Amino acid sequence: MTALKNDRFLRALLKQPVDVTPVWMMRQAGRYLPEYRASRASAGDFMSLCKNPQFACEVTLQPLDRYPLDAAILFSDILTIPDAMGQGLYFETGEGPRFRKTVSTLADIEALPIPDAQQDLGYVMDAVSTIRRELNGRVPLIGFAGSPWTLATYMVEGGSSKDFRKSKAMLYDNPQAMHLLLDKLAQSVTSYLNGQILAGAQAVQIFDSWGGSLSSAAYQEFSLAYMRKIVSGLIRENDGRKVPVIVFTKGGGLWLESIADIGADTLGLDWTCDIGEARQRVGSKVSLQGNMDPTVLYARPEAIRQEVARILASYGSGTGHVFNLGHGITPEVDPANAGAFIEAVHELSAQYHV
Ligand code: 1CP
């Protein structure tokens, strides 16, 4: 494989020295970019973008052609796994994800297959290898999957939810059924991420977007335990390089010490915690990724710069920080403001790496 021209993202994840703090944005390929909206229109819809490796590659590279980002992230979705389990994923224009079939009983869960990464999700593996080839060593490629709990909420609710009524009722009424679902999802995610790593993903991130909706006790038992299981089953070195693992629980700020303990390399932080305090709490165990409030990108470039400076100062000197937003960039952001954000991170961080 081609040598990496810019590896500061991988180096910071592993706490190796860097020249400036690396930066990427969750959801960096997406609706705030006019070129993304044009590609989606020519593909027809969102899932056609995901299922065609050429289109997936095209939109993955769009933000890299605009900005000096330090990593690319596979263009896909966390819901490819429930789709491959036979749930029938679809998107109505302007609406969130929906499933044709939902899961509500133990029998439904017992009947769910564990997808084979190559056979059932081959289009994702093809997208990863196509993107790696096209990147030609520019920056590392991140693979990803949803956490078992986050995926389970979509499968039980049949789509997005504000209160997680059905999934939480199942958790409390029928914990045995929920555990079986989470166990099947953990197996599926492990083989899916290992497939992405073997296809060329150089780091992987687990998105636990809805872990923060749980009580502390339920989080440990129904989300964190399964992420621990996944992390312990992942391929951690490929092609002569370590493959770092990032775990991101949105709303997980109260539980950083226990998340730092599951064997991942990096914790993703949302914007509600102070990154300097987080650094003290986790010590040298893990590196940190985050954590600017994505809505700061609605403000003027000078305000964005100030907020970047504040976060860099809070983290302080040395490696172990990958700059990111505390959650995905939103569709209404002006692309010029995203550019100001990335430029500010590189410019203002050099002083912390002397
Ligand atoms: O074009 C469109 O209208 C579709 C919007 C869209 C996009 C751009 C969806 C539907 N998914 C994606 C891509 C996507 N999803 C990526 C691509 C890589 C990147 O550039 O970052 C990633 C990493 C995801 C992950 C994802 N999908 C998560 C976890 C991250 C998060 O934001 O918390 C979740 C929860 C989903 C489900 C999903 N898919 C799409 C939407 C709108 C949603 C969220 C719905 C909800 O809020 O419940």
77 catalytic residue (yes or no): yes
- C-alpha to C-alpha distance for 15 and 212, rounded to whole angstroms: 27
- C-alpha to C-alpha distance for 44 and 31, rounded to whole angstroms: 14
Ligand 1 centroid, distance to 78 Cα (angstroms): 7
Mean pLDDT, residues 260-280 taken together: 98
pLDDT at 2: 77
- DSSP output for 318-340: SS-EEEEESSPPPTTS-HHHHHH
Query: How does pLDDT run across 283-341, given as a tens digit for each residue?
Result: 999 999 999 999 999 999 999 999 999 999 999 999 999 999 999 999 999 999 999 99
Per-residue CA distances from 192 to 19, 48, 115, 198 (Å): 33, 20, 8, 10
pLDDT at 249: 98
- C-alpha to C-alpha distance for 257 and 235, rounded to whole angstroms: 24
165 catalytic residue (yes or no): no
31 catalytic residue (yes or no): yes
pLDDT at 340: 98
Query: How does pLDDT run across 145-156, given as a tens digit for each residue?
Result: 999 999 999 999
32 catalytic residue (yes or no): no
Ligand 1 atom nearest residue 50's Cα: 13
Nearest residue to 275 (alpha-carbon basis) of 297, 249, 303, 256: 256
Q: Quick check: CB of 208 below 6 Å from ligand 1?
A: no
- Which residue puts its alpha carbon closest to atom 46 of ligand 1? 160
Query: What are φ and ψ of residue 271, in 5° steps?
Result: -80, -5
Nearest residue to 127 (alpha-carbon basis) of 176, 178, 77, 82: 77
Asked if the model's pLDDT at residue 94 lies above 90, the reply is no
- Identify the residue with better confidence: 93 or 211: 211
Nearest residue to 117 (alpha-carbon basis) of 54, 195, 61: 195
Alpha helices, H only, the chain: 8-13, 34-43, 46-51, 53-66, 80-82, 106-110, 117-120, 122-135, 148-157, 165-173, 175-199, 216-218, 225-232, 256-259, 275-282, 301-315, 335-349
Could you give the percent of the chain with pLDDT greater than 90? 97
Ligand 1 atom nearest residue 63's Cα: 20
pLDDT at 152: 98
Catalytic residue, chosen from 40, 98, 279, 305, is 40
- Which residue puts its alpha carbon closest to atom 32 of ligand 1? 328
pLDDT at 92: 80
Would you state the structure tokens that stand for residue 265, as one six-digit string? 């390399």
Compute the mean pLDDT over every residue in the chain, rounded to the nearest whole number: 97
pLDDT at 95: 81
To the nearest 10 degrees (0 to 180), the angle between helices 53-66 and 122-135 is 40
pLDDT band at residue 144, thresholds of 50, 70 and 90? very high
pLDDT at 201: 98
pLDDT at 1: 61
- C-alpha to C-alpha distance for 275 and 103, rounded to whole angstroms: 38
Q: Quick check: CB of 15 below 6 Å from ligand 1?
A: no
Q: Quick check: CB of 211 below 6 Å from ligand 1?
A: no
Query: How does pLDDT run across 216-233, given as a tens digit for each residue?
Result: 999 999 999 999 999 999
Query: How does pLDDT run across 38-81, given as a tens digit for each residue?
Result: 999 999 999 999 999 999 999 999 999 999 999 999 999 999 99
Alpha helices, H only, 53-105: 53-66, 80-82
> Could you tell me which residues come within 8 angstroms of residue 301 by beta carbon, excluding any fewer than 6 positions away?
336, 337, 340, 344
